[in-house]
């Protein structure tokens, strides 16, 4: 990373060659919400404001704000009450590759979030509002993602596991939003990202300690790093939940999570409602007792008299915490006794937290939940010539070039993808 700081700290490269500052990720903020107006405020450091590739303000300092209003496909910019004009794009570049800013959505009203490093704003491709992109170092981004997905109280090896999974997702989906002008969005469509890491230093440490590390399958592709809250004692095969059968998303037994919060649940549903739903799905019984189900280990279907309904469908219909449940008929109800919370595929977070508590390393945790995989490191300092020559690994290393072009400003990216 030292060469990055060298480069990015040099004022000469700041405006013209930001792309030399390696290992940047561009994240589309508020991607689901068409934001018409927003306020950008400098929280620390100093920002250069560049409009349509012309320097407007050399140093917007701490506390200063800039109002951005979507208007006729452009951006109307106001700073300190002054109307600065209407432009196609605005870039707020943190001096020295540093700085923290906040964005508050004014229309619609959105709560303020803080972000590290740079912001690029223009009209969204569909003209619905502002496209706000946060461009920042990979490690800042991953810290934010891990924090959005976990608390702060677990052991370091658990955070290292989550950091590796989030990085695996990032590398596998690096160009997912190329046509929109950035790498990943901040919603659950990609990975939830709510901005700057604020509470948990140990997450940042975990991200640093796993730098460049991802999980690959037997064909050297980054895995789909699915995880869920609690598996209830057994994870699911991927094909029991989604269509695709993946060789590493296999059902595994898991004793680690069984005493945890999400391990058990109960729910009662009126027998008439249950019966009615099953009847619509072809399961018609004379005796209600026939509707009972035992699931000592995870099944794919709720099956009665040769007719069956996918458990995922039942889970969705009745808003159940998992598909891993038994059914008993009790009076006028069906009583569901369930295990686990979530889809059950891949890593069980509560199990992984317990493994880390008991001294497991992140590699042990990953191998327990993801079968037939390898853990590799793209850490530039340590990646071997063999890895660089391996075409598959090469393909999935977003930092494969000496000077990665992943920092291409949004305008350029959109041009390339037209
Ligand atoms: Zn997305
Ligand atoms: Zn589990």
Burial class (CB in 10 A: 0-12, 13-18, 19+), 370: buried
Ligand 2 mean position to 204 CA, how many Å?
25
Q: Which residues pair with 115 in a beta bridge?
A: 101
How far does residue 133's CA lie from ligand 1's centre (Å)?
13
> Which residues are near ligand 2, the ion (C-beta closer than 5 Å)?
231, 254, 257, 348, 351
Question: Ligand 1 centre from 288 Cα, in Å?
Answer: 45
Residue pair 26/135 in contact (Cβ under 8 Å)? The answer is yes
Please name the residue ranges forming H helices in 179-253.
Answer: 201-209
Q: Write phi, then psi, for 6 (nearest 5 degrees).
A: -55, -50
Instruction: State the DSSP H helix or E strand holding residue 328, giving kind and residue range, or none if neither.
Output: strand 325-330
Q: What is the pLDDT of residues 274-292, one digit of tens each?
A: 999 999 999 999 999 999 9
Q: Give the number of whichever ligand sits closest to the CA of residue 180.
A: 1
Structural domains present in the chain = 2-137+406-416 (2.60.200), 226-347 (no CATH)
The Cα–Cα gap between 111 and 316 comes to 30
Check if the beta carbon of residue 414 is closer than 8 Å to that of residue 125: yes
pTM, full prediction? 0.87
Interval between CA 354 and ligand 2 midpoint (Å): 9
C-beta of residue 27 within 8 angstroms of C-beta of residue 196: no
pLDDT of residue 1: 31
Distance 34 CA to ligand 1 centre (A): 15
Q: What mean pLDDT is reported for the chain?
A: 88
Distance in Å, CA 3 to ligand 1 centroid:
30
The 8-class DSSP code of residue 323 comes to: S
Quick one: which ligand is closest to 183's CA?
1
CA distance 57 to 40: 14
In this prediction, residue 400 has a pLDDT band, given cuts at 50, 70 and 90, of: low
Q: How confident is the model at residue 260 (pLDDT cuts 50, 70, 90)?
A: very high
Angstrom CA distances, 148 to 163, 200, 207, 287, 338, stand at: 12, 11, 14, 48, 27
Asked if residue 193 lies in contact with residue 115, where contact means CB atoms within 8 angstroms, the answer is: no
CA of 191 to the centre of ligand 1 (A): 7
Rounded average pLDDT over 2-27: 47
> What distance in angstroms lies between residue 161's CA and the mean position of ligand 2's atoms?
15
For position 4, what pLDDT does the model report? Answer: 34
Q: Which-ligand-closest: CA of 174? A: 1
Please name which ligand lies nearest the alpha carbon of 229.
Answer: 2
């Amino acid at each position: 990373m030292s060469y990055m700081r060298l480069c990015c700290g040099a004022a000469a490269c700041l405006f013209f060659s930001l792309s030399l500052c390696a290992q940047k990720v561009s994240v589309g903020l508020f991607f689901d919400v068409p934001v018409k107006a927003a306020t950008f405020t400098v929280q620390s450091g100093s920002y250069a404001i560049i409009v349509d590739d012309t320097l407007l303000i050399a140093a917007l300092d701490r506390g200063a704000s800039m109002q951005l209003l979507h208007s006729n496909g452009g951006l109307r910019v106001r700073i300190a009450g002054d109307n600065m004009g209407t432009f196609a794009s605005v870039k707020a570049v943190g001096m020295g590759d540093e700085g923290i800013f906040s964005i508050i959505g004014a229309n619609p009203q959105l709560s303020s979030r803080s972000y590290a490093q740079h912001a690029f704003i223009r009209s969204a491709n569909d003209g619905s509002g502002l496209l706000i992109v946060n461009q920042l170092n990979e490690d800042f981004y991953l810290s934010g993602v891990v924090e959005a997905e976990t608390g702060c109280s677990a052991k370091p090896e658990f955070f290292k596991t989550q950091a590796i999974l989030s990085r695996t997702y990032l590398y596998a989906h690096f160009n997912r939003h190329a046509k929109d002008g950035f790498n990943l969005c901040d919603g659950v469509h990609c990975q939830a990202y709510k901005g700057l890491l604020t509470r948990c230093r140990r997450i940042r440490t975990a991200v640093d300690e796993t730098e460049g590390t991802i999980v690959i399958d037997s064909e050297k592709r980054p895995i789909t790093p699915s995880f869920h809250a609690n598996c209830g004692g057994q994870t699911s095969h991927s094909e029991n939940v989604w269509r695709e059968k993946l060789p590493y998303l296999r059902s595994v037994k898991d004793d680690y999570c069984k005493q945890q919060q999400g391990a058990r649940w109960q729910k009662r549903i009126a027998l008439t409602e249950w019966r009615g739903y099953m009847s619509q799905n072809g399961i018609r019984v004379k005796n209600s007792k026939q509707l009972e189900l035992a699931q000592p280990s995870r099944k794919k279907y709720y099956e009665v008299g040769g007719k069956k309904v996918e458990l995922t469908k039942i889970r969705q219909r009745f808003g159940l915490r998992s598909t891993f449940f038994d059914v008993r008929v009790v009076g006028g109800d069906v009583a569901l006794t369930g295990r686990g919370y979530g889809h059950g595929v891949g890593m069980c977070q509560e199990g992984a937290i317990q493994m880390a508590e008991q001294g497991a390393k992140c590699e042990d945790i990953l191998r327990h939940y993801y079968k037939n995989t390898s853990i590799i490191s793209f850490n530039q300092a340590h990646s071997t010539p063999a890895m660089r020559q391996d075409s598959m690994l090469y393909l999935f290393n977003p930092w494969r070039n000496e000077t990665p072009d992943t920092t291409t400003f949004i305008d350029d990216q959109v041009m390339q993808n037209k």
